[in-house]
A and B are shown apart, each in its own frame.
Chain A
Amino acid sequence: MTTILNRIKVALGPDMAGPGFALIAVLVIFSLASPQFFSWATFGSVAFQLPELGLLTLAMLLPVLTGGLNLAITFTANLAGLTVAWVLQQNGGADAGPFAFLLGSVLGVGVGALSGVVMGLVIAYTRAHPILVSLSMMIFLRGLGEFLTRGGDVSGFPAFLQPLGHGSILGFPVPLLVFIGCVLIWHLLLTRMKLGFNTYMIGSNIEAARYSGVNTRKVLVLVYTLSGAMCAIAGIIMLARFNSVRVGHGESYLLITVLACFLGGVNPFGGFGRVIPVAVALVVLQLLSSGLNILGANQHLATAVWGILLITVMILRFAAGHFQSLKRKKG
């Protein structure tokens, strides 16, 4: 029995225990509490809501792995969305063609990447704390966005964007497919590419990595650039979902993305953490909020429960570590 458990544990990785346990607990509790929980409606709502938070969490993940944070993710996403909206408006607003959207998306991703490049350069060359750099970038981008939009909405987009936010392919919502694609890219990046390898190494000890010949500045700049580009993808999906862009959309996701990373077993000091457990943690968070919704609670209660879940998982991790060292003492 224990060997089977151990084998599963090895196959999934030790960081899977927290989110895996939470997933099972959430599924069991809600299906007992409400017969409607196990329905397509629930999973449909999860599938449509997950991608926005999910893409932003992917954007947060890379900096966290290097031992930093990117607090500018939500406003980077907004500005990228604004860029797309602006290109669409310049090309006829609701009558704009697919080419305008493509051009806008490329520019939007460029804007997201640019915010990342600036942060990456400052962090890599001045060794300023990433929390501060990204915090000031956040304040700057928020101001810039509000300045450009005067605090209002930008809307009026062509109809062909509708499916990107609300359509399905073979029963899978399009935003979810985009998210799954991005998860796979991030997974490949972190497990099979040099940049990913070096990201982990830098997260544990940047000086030792430099002595081993890792181009630490390049890695940091690339990590924040990719983070910014991922924000832009989130921003474009948000544009299609809301059919409008407003600076401040998704602002409340900021700290939730950090929460999702920690829930997914990412080491707060950097160096350790995988994409798949983080994705599972995101599913848990969405299931929780959909489940509570079915039971008649609102998103605010779900937010509180997310916080309680994070603390519970951290306490269980602490207890597990404590238990193991006790066992070692006796054995």
Chain B
Amino acid sequence: MRKAVQSHATEFALIAVIAVISLFLSFATDRFFTLGNAFDLLNTSSVNIIFAVGLLVVLIAGGIDISFAVAASVVQYVAALMLGWIGGGGWISGLLIAGALGVLLGAINAFLILKFRIISIVATIATFNIYFGLLMFFTRGVSIYNLPDWLTSRVILFEHEMADGSWIEITLPVLVMLICVVATWVFITRTTTGRQLYAFGDNPEGARRFGINIGAMQFIAFGWLGLMAGIGGLIQAHYAQEVVPNALYGRELDVLAAVVLGGARLGGGKGSVLGCVLGVLLISITQNGLNLAGVSPYAFKMIVGAIILAAITLSNTSIEKLLPFMRHEEGRK
């Protein structure tokens, strides 16, 4: 147990914080600690979690991507138009189109980074402006409301009325989110390519000397994020039942904050799917709880920002200082 706590310090810290906040909120509000609310939370967090696990892969490989959220907007819009051309389509064709478009936009980033040695933050800030500027220019900021019926109608996979009259629901976004989370987990922890990504992010020069294909690593990492951005974009359109070109603008930094809160490191080689999901959930739980507790919605973000700032400050003053038993005796002598 102690070993598990040591090697997953961030995840355990997050679970502890979530537990404390939940406990507090369950006393402060009567609605928070219900299954119905828990499933609501999952439904509303799905899109962010899909984005987050995608971004995690890029961070592990030592890169950063600012453009994925506006890329998701581009995918939404183009996919909606393409679905119109092919006469409506369905979930399978929709996901295929959105995924392929996302991978394509991610591959553009990888191409710039690899071919012209532009570092990822510069390249993706440029593509962020290009994707968003062109999207707004060509759409003139006009939203699409007449989406195919299959896309806008809620798909409830499981529902059950609780004794207290509240409903628990598992909707399609949750299922897609779970698939993305599991797929990412299998990919980065259970396949050789995933481990190569970790190695590449941890020590690029070492990875190169072992003959790991650097170019392939960039395309895989940014392609995976592109795939997740595409899927997330489509799911967001489904959830919102409309396509608004600037709906996801600004989401990139919120997701980045959540992923890093979950223990991923800017610079590569570190981060876990569990931590990443917990990072997103911590933020949603706090917002949801504050909402139920009747705190002004304008105060949410302030409190969330303060929590992230405190978390980052504390995690860098090292958990070891706060919890001395976690220190490794055999470390440096």
Contact = CB atoms under 8 A, between A and B. Distances in A.
Contact flag (A, B; Cβ within 8 A) = yes
Interface of A: 71, 122, 125-129, 131-133, 135-144, 146-147, 150-151, 251, 255-256, 258-259, 262, 268-269, 297-298, 300-308, 310-311, 314-315, 318
Indicate the member of A122, A139, A144 with the most B CB atoms within 10 Å.
A139
A137 B305 CA distance: 6
A302 to B, nearest CB: 7
Interface string B114-129: 0011110111011111
B32 to A, nearest CB: 20
Q: Nearest 10 pairs between A and B by C-beta?
A: A140-B305, A304-B133, A143-B302, A143-B301, A307-B129, A303-B133, A139-B305, A307-B130, A300-B136, A126-B316
**Chain A, interface SS category:** helix
A133 B312 contact: yes
Contacts, number: 157
Question: For this complex, into which size category does the number of interface residues on chain B fall?
Answer: 35 or more
Given A136-B312, A255-B66, A307 B128 contact: yes
Contacts of A147: 296, 298-299, 301-302
A258 B121 CA distance: 10
A122 B112 contact: no
Nearest to A149: B298
A207 B145 CA distance: 56
A135 B122 CA distance: 17
Contacts of A305: 133
B185 interface: no
B112 A311 contact: yes
Contact of A256 (B66, B129, B130, B312): B129
17 contacts: A122-B309, A132-B257, A133-B312, A138-B305, A139-B253, A139-B257, A143-B299, A146-B298, A146-B302, A150-B298, A255-B66, A259-B126, A268-B121, A300-B141, A306-B129, A307-B125, A311-B116
B274 to A, nearest CB: 20
B133 to A, nearest CB: 3
Contact of A255 (B128, B266, B267, B301): B128
Given A141-B305, A259-B129, A300-B134, 19 more contacts: A122-B313, A128-B312, A135-B257, A137-B309, A138-B253, A139-B301, A140-B301, A142-B301, A143-B301, A143-B305, A147-B299, A268-B121, A300-B141, A301-B133, A308-B130, A310-B125, A311-B112, A314-B123, A318-B118
A301 B137 contact: yes
Given A255-B125, A318-B116, A304 B316 contact: no
Does more than half of chain B's interface fall in helix, strand or loop, or is it mixed? helix
Contact of A268 (B119, B256, B260, B305): B119
Nearest to A147: B298
Nearest to A262: B122
B122 A136 contact: no
A129 B266 contact: yes
A317 B313 CA distance: 37
Nearest to B120: A268
B41 to A, nearest CB: 19
A307 B118 contact: no
A318 B296 CA distance: 50
Q: Which of B129, B136, B260, B299 has the most CB of A within 10 A?
A: B129
B316 A127 contact: yes
Contacts of A125: 317
A232 B134 CA distance: 31
A141 B260 CA distance: 19
B73 to A, nearest CB: 13
Contact of B313 (A126, A151, A300, A307): A126
B261 to A, nearest CB: 9
A314 B133 contact: no
B146 to A, nearest CB: 23
B317 to A, nearest CB: 5
